[in-house]
Chains A and B, each alone.
Chain A
Amino acid sequence: MERYIFAFPSVTIAIKAQAVLRRKGISADVIRTPKSLAVGCGYSVSAAADPGVVAELLEAEGITPRAIGKPR
């Protein structure tokens, strides 16, 4: 499964998102937000799942990614 990057405003939200996805059996890791998604400090989740499915799962928990993209 191809990996996608989901950017969040803080490490707290990123880890919360990681926990949501792992509970659903999705491989997810917290990483530094790559330059391609946002400038400055920030944290993202790298997840091996369809981005639409991930966004839907996170939305259900009140979490909205600031940006979604592919790793370079």
Chain B
Amino acid sequence: MYSISKNNLDSLYQAIAGSYDLFMPIKTAGQTNYGFWKDGDEGDIDTLKTVRSGKDAFFPQVEQLYKVSREFIPADVASGEDAEKAADTALRTKLNITPGKLVDQDFVIFGMRPCDVRAIEVMDNVFLADPVDSYYRSRREHGIVVALACHEPEESCFCTIFGVDPADPSKAKADVATWLVGDRLYWKPISEKGEALTAKISSVFEDAADAESKVEEEKAYIENIAKQLPNAELSLEGWGAGKTDERFDSKVWDKVYKGCLGCGTCTFVCPTCQCYDIKDYTTKDGIQRYRCWDSCMYSDFTLMAGGQNRQTQLQRFRQRFMHKLVYYPTNNDGMFMCVGCGRCVEKCPQSLNIVKVIKAFANEKEVSADV
């Protein structure tokens, strides 16, 4: 176990940034979001929830897939083509495809909470499943995840119901586990990648004889709080693999979706939402084909020339939650596509969220049980 004083965190960031790109929570214009840290940026690991999750590290909101350039094919008049044909050919272009660059340098994601680390596993099941997405894979191979325990969980947190441990990031699939206790950060490498990172920057760390006991105290403190959170006992009964028929046609959807604006806030702040769009952007020197986040809540998500299969906001709302709580678990050995980070709980403009959906179904059951 290593340690560094909170006052010296900037030197830790500098040490990491000296050898790696450092992706971490940075406070800009009053909000904390992940970004690439550079000298002068305000690193902020006190804020429990960044507005956007850390998923950008592996699945950025926008990324270039490839570029297509058009090269004119000159008319071959010399070979005796007639004028009309030559003019026709003169308009012809050849297409050249240049694939986007894959990440090939190690980089560090610092300060990721255990829920967001679990979200990486959720995304792995999608992007690393056959056929593998090489853009995502290159980032996963080169990303070194430094996880941070949640010093004081908030009421919107419900990660424990998905088996996430906010007190002990060493249980998460991270490379380094850290704890911010009082004025010190405790640092414990877990994986080989984590050891290598630690070795490279070890000179910034200070001796801390009481590290183990401090961390144990902190874990107990967090565990005690986690138990008191209002949604600590939220039941997922009735959700999970194979529950499509039980849930899909329920009348509850008609009640819970009503306020939905059809915006993409929940989707974009969610650490596990991974649906995307592929679009073209025409520039003066070619067409950039890029991938960007998309939202199943948007009215054009499934729109085709011939119409679409989810025409109402009720259907779109249902899709998002069925995907997270039933379809995804069906395909992934029961793993839920929610990690309980609570960002949707805090950010939905209309105060709708996954917890309310789960509770609405639970209440409905009680009502029908009473009858």
A, B co-complexed: no
